[in-house]
Amino acid sequence: MTNAHPITIRPAQADDALCLGVLSTQVFLHTYTLHGIRPALAREALANHSVARYEALLADPDKTILVAECAGHMVALSLVDNAARLETRPDLAAAKLEHLYVQEPFTGRGIGRDLLRQAEKGAAARGAEMLWLTAWVGNARALSFYPRCGYDDLGETMFTFEGESHPNRLFGKRVRHVAPA
């Protein structure tokens, strides 16, 4: 039934914080808690995927959040930090794709690709030459998705929280040539 309805993409609004927080938490837990929940992961989820966190992100002019909806239901989101520079290339105007989250029942419909394309256009319109991101090495879907979308694997990086370091891959794509949104 959900596949019969069209997907629409729009900028997030202040009153989207509740759904953004819940959707972000759901996708984060589905992706990163493959072996169950433990205190460090629970704190990470509550700190970075809460409604309050999204309220703050929506009020930050350096952040761009897009949402995808199907039949009035939020099914995916992208979050770009337009002020995050790439440490290995401080000379390059860059923006960071913080999240590209699609609910599992909606994967494989091109929603992630469409959100990513809109995020690229938005970053380019704000002056970024490159959009970059990190993907956890345990996320096989992401590791194959980004290269298919034209992203170069720029090497290994680590994501650290609560004293734990987790290997990630660093990806980047030139977006200066992308037509503005």
Q: How confident is the model at residue 157 (pLDDT cuts 50, 70, 90)?
A: confident
- What distance in Å separates the CA atoms of residue 2 and residue 5, rounded to the nearest whole number? 6
Domain presence at residue 56:
yes
Domain presence at residue 125:
yes
Return the CATH number at 29: 3.40.630.30
Residue 88 vs residue 93, higher pLDDT: 93
- What distance in Å separates the CA atoms of residue 23 and residue 10, rounded to the nearest whole number? 16
Domain presence at residue 179:
no
Domain presence at residue 181:
no
Give the per-residue pLDDT at 81: 97
Question: Structural domain tally of the chain?
Answer: 1
The range of the structural domain enclosing residue 104 comes to: 2-174
Helix (H) or strand (E) holding 132, with range, is strand 130-136
* Among the listed residues 3, 35, 39, the one whose alpha carbon sits nearest the alpha carbon of residue 163: 39
Whether residue 78 contacts residue 12, with contact meaning beta carbons closer than 8 Å, is answered with: no
Secondary structure of residue 65 in the 3-state scheme? strand
Place of tokens 């069209």: 6
Helix (H) or strand (E) holding 10, with range, is strand 7-11
Kindly report, residue by residue over 112-129, the tens digit of the pLDDT.
999 999 999 999 999 999
Domain presence at residue 130:
yes
Domain presence at residue 180:
no
Kindly report, residue by residue over 47-79, the tens digit of the pLDDT.
999 999 999 999 999 999 999 999 999 999 999
Secondary structure of residue 89 in the 3-state scheme? coil
